[in-house]
Amino acid sequence: MKISVLGAGAWGTALAIAASARHELLLWARDADAIAAMRTAGRNDRYLPDAALPATLGLTDDLEEALAHGRDGLLVIATPMSGLRGMLARLPDGARALWLCKGFEAGTGLLGHEIAREVAPRLAAGVLSGPSFAQEVAAGQPTALVSASVDAALAQLGVSAFHSERLRVYSSADPVGVEVGGAVKNVMAIAVGIADGLRLVAETQGRQGPGLNARAALITRGLAEMQRLALALGAQPETLLGLAGLGDLVLTATGDLSRNRRVGLLLAEGLDLPAILAKLGHVAEGVYSAPTVLARARSAGVDMPITAAVVELLEGRLTPQEALDALMGRQAKSEW
């Protein structure tokens, strides 16, 4: 199959590496200097410096070339969420596309499938998501993903494109649930990072902080928030118990490679948000999507207290300790 990956960040590069042994892969980046550097170094030093680029992987900064290459096969949009709308508008008629970005669009509060419905209503489109760190996929470590679309043939095409001995890909007919899980888990990972960070800070000061019980509570109640919003937007409940829901939440909330978790850890240490983002050097989607997630939840009449606390903290109205105290001090009620 001919596949073009549109966007040479860490995740787009990792997927291109993973599939290049079986398919004709072309990786596109808009920056000609970045493509030239990748050709010279044989790796993506900015986003994925430890992974060698296979000789079979094509590189280009010519978008028209990339679109033509994947026109009859598969186009994989690997831009941040902010770039999805513009990229969808450039896709040729009759193309088939999956996007990798996770989140709600800033300003509109739309998910990827809703943006596609506005921009390219006749496009065969879907999402590829799940619990995955780019470094591990590029290194060939075992990973499981889900390819989701209301177009069953496209969902299966995503499986055919990326399923391998080390990368297991399941199909799904529920892009809404997959997208909500992928968007909201980043916000929950910040909350869990804050709790874990407060524990680490307390330990260095010889006092007791929140423990692993608090982490478990936040992950579990975070999953409940994800489910409530997903169901309100038309998702299937079982999707949030799968790879793109619980699986992605657990990985992002507890994994040391998680940028969103790292934001929470650094907030607990007392760093301000601009300093944290400068330190990370990469996008932490939860920071930008948290206010949009909360706005979408409120418009749908869905209660999301963890998300609300994260937004208050990111906007400087609560300290990390105050946010955790507010969550743990909520009135008792039936779990379901």
259 annotated as a binding-site residue: yes
122 annotated as a binding-site residue: no
30 annotated as a binding-site residue: yes
Alpha carbon of 57 to those of 32, 219, 310: distances in Å? Answer: 16, 38, 40
7 annotated as a binding-site residue: yes
Active site residue 185: yes
Q: Which residues pair with 25 in a beta bridge?
A: 3
47 annotated as a binding-site residue: yes
Dist CA 172 CA 226 (whole Å)? 18
User: Is residue 15 within 8 Å of residue 5, measured between CB atoms?
Assistant: yes
202 annotated as a binding-site residue: no
9 annotated as a binding-site residue: yes
Alpha carbon of 147 to those of 17, 158, 169: distances in Å? Answer: 18, 6, 7
Tokens of 42: 């044989």
134 annotated as a binding-site residue: yes
139 annotated as a binding-site residue: no
- Residue 230: partners with Cβ closer than 8 Å, 6 or more residues away: 176, 177, 180, 181, 237, 239, 240, 245
132 annotated as a binding-site residue: yes
Dist CA 312 CA 307 (whole Å)? 9
Dist CA 307 CA 213 (whole Å)? 19
Indicate which residue of 2, 185, 279, 333 is catalytic: 185
285 annotated as a binding-site residue: yes
| Amino acid symbol at 310 | V
Binding residues for NADPH: 11, 30, 47, 102, 134, 259, 283, 285
Known binding residues for sn-glycerol 3-phosphate: 102, 130, 132, 185, 248, 258-260
> Which active-site residues does the annotation give?
185
The binding site for substrate consists of 102, 259-260
Q: Give binding residues as ranges.
A: 7-12, 30, 47, 102, 130, 132, 134, 185, 248, 258-260, 283, 285
Which residues make up each annotated binding site for NAD(+)?
7-12, 134, 259
